[in-house]
């Protein structure tokens, strides 16, 4: 059966399985090999691995891509995507976004490796004005941690009209909310570490695309950099994907409820929630120290960085040196997980009251 008519819930469960034959396992094995008998499809562990492929197949189907390449982390995937741009290429990117991406782009810009035109990605007019003469548009929407939302269809369409390449970090929204390739993006990137794998136990990244020539260039980048995924990590991520839609739907439901209640809470202001996804950012009454105390005071929610696991975590984002200084000192980013929403709300209320 072709997966084209299948829903994401079904794709997540049924793709990336071994051939069905009597006695075959339902799950792919973890293939531990650095080298292979000559003249086959795979020769060496840096060029391929049989445990990568089922994971790549599942992510491709979820994103409506023709192919996917997995990498050792989300940042490894992003680095590979930028690596195929010519030296000094003008690119347009949001001035607010994942701190690792921001730091990489700032470094490339100061080294002259890329000429980055930083924009407010939610300001469509500004984005379009900067596209003129640029080679590439990098979009992250919603943004991390401000949760700004770009007019995704419009800016990708305008970029393609001007022949720019478009890369899209779809980590926050996930393919359950938007599929950038269907809007014309060339590359969609995931920190698989987050919702796709979903259990805070593995780092992985992916790039998905439709164009085979682009695939070949990015595959060559992965091979040359050696930024390859471990077989065990790949297996864990595929296992995680089986329940990704279930987990994400619950987390998203919880997040919507918590965002509404936080907005009505007297010690909280500027609640940011784009109406989808499972991340909520807000400011608390008080300074950085108070925000740290709130994060520490919770007993169920863990004060920890990262996001997208089944367990709810939160942190004060500005505790990171790399975080943009436009992010307020007292902003807490809450990654909502799959616990019962009433247990989470009680924990949040008592942390806000008791710290």
Ligand X SMILES: *Cc1c(COP(=O)(O)O)cnc(C)c1O
Which stretch, 53-61, 97-105, 174-182, 282-290, contacts ligand X (CB under 6 A)?
97-105
Which stretch, 26-34, 38-46, 107-115, 190-198, contacts ligand X (CB under 6 A)?
190-198
Cβ-contact 319, 305 below 8 angstroms: no
- Euclidean distance between CA atoms 209 and 212, whole angstroms: 8
Nearest approach in angstroms of CB 306 to ligand X is 6
Strand 331-335 and strand 268-272: the pairing is unpaired
Report residue 189 as tokens.
């990137």
Nearest approach in angstroms of CB 184 to ligand X is 21
- Euclidean distance between CA atoms 77 and 222, whole angstroms: 8
Cβ-contact 162, 131 below 8 angstroms: yes
Cβ-contact 305, 261 below 8 angstroms: no
Nearest approach in angstroms of CB 60 to ligand X is 19
Nearest approach in angstroms of CB 23 to ligand X is 37
Which of 272, 351 has the CB closer to ligand X? 272
Containing 130, the helix (H) or strand (E) segment is helix 124-131
Cβ-contact 317, 327 below 8 angstroms: yes
Which stretch, 9-17, 43-51, 98-106, 316-324, contacts ligand X (CB under 6 A)?
98-106
Our finding on whether 73 is near ligand X (CB under 6 A) is yes
Among residue numbers 126 through 185, which ones bind ligand X (CB under 6 A)? 140, 144, 169, 171-172
Our finding on whether 335 is near ligand X (CB under 6 A) is no
Residues 191-220: x where in contact with ligand X by CB under 6 A, - otherwise, as a string: x-xx--------x-x---------------
Which stretch, 71-79, 88-96, 236-244, 249-257, contacts ligand X (CB under 6 A)?
71-79
Our finding on whether 252 is near ligand X (CB under 6 A) is no
Give strand ranges (E) for the chain. Answer: 67-71, 89-94, 114-119, 136-140, 165-169, 187-191, 205-209, 268-272, 279-284, 302-303, 313-316, 331-335
Report residue 50 as tokens.
């049989």
> Interface with ligand X by CB under 6 A: which residues?
73-75, 98, 100-101, 140, 144, 169, 171-172, 191, 193-194, 203, 205
């Amino acid at each position: 059966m072709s997966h084209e008519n299948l829903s994401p819930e079904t794709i997540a469960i049924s793709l990336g399985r071994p051939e069905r034959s009597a006695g075959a396992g339902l799950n792919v094995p973890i293939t531990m090999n650095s080298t292979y008998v000559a003249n086959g499809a795979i020769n060496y562990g840096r060029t391929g691995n049989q445990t990568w492929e089922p994971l790549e197949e599942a992510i491709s189907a979820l994103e409506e891509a023709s192919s996917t390449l997995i990498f050792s982390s989300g940042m490894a995937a992003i680095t590979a995507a930028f690596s195929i741009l010519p030296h000094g290429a003008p690119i347009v990117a949001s001035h607010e976004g994942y701190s690792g991406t921001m730091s990489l782009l700032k470094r490339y810009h100061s080294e002259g490796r890329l000429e980055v035109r930083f924009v407010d990605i939610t300001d469509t007019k500004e984005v379009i004005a900067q596209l003129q003469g640029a080679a590439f548009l990098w979009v992250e929407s919603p943004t991390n941690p401000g949760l700004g939302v770009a007019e995704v269809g419009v800016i990708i369409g305008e970029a393609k009209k001007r022949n720019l390449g478009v890369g899209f970090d779809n980590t926050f929204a996930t393919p359950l909310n938007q599929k950038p390739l269907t809007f014309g993006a060339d590359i969609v990137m995931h920190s698989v570490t987050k919702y796709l794998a979903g259990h805070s136990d593995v780092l992985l990244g992916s790039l998905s695309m439709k164009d085979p020539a682009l695939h070949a260039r990015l595959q060559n980048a992965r091979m040359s950099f050696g930024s390859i995924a471990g077989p065990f990590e790949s297996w864990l991520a595929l296992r995680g994907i089986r329940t990704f839609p279930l987990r994400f739907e619950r987390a998203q439901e919880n997040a919507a409820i918590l965002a509404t209640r936080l907005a009505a809470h007297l010690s909280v202001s500027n609640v940011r929630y784009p109406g989808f996804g499972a991340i909520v950012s807000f400011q608390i009454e008080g300074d950085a120290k108070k925000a740290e105390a709130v994060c520490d005071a919770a007993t169920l929610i863990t004060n920890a960085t990262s996001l997208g696991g089944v367990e709810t975590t939160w942190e004060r984002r500005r505790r990171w040196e790399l975080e943009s200084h436009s992010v307020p000192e007292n902003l807490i980013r809450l990654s909502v997980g799959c616990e019962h929403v009433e247990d989470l709300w009680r924990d949040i209320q008592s942390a806000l009251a008791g710290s």
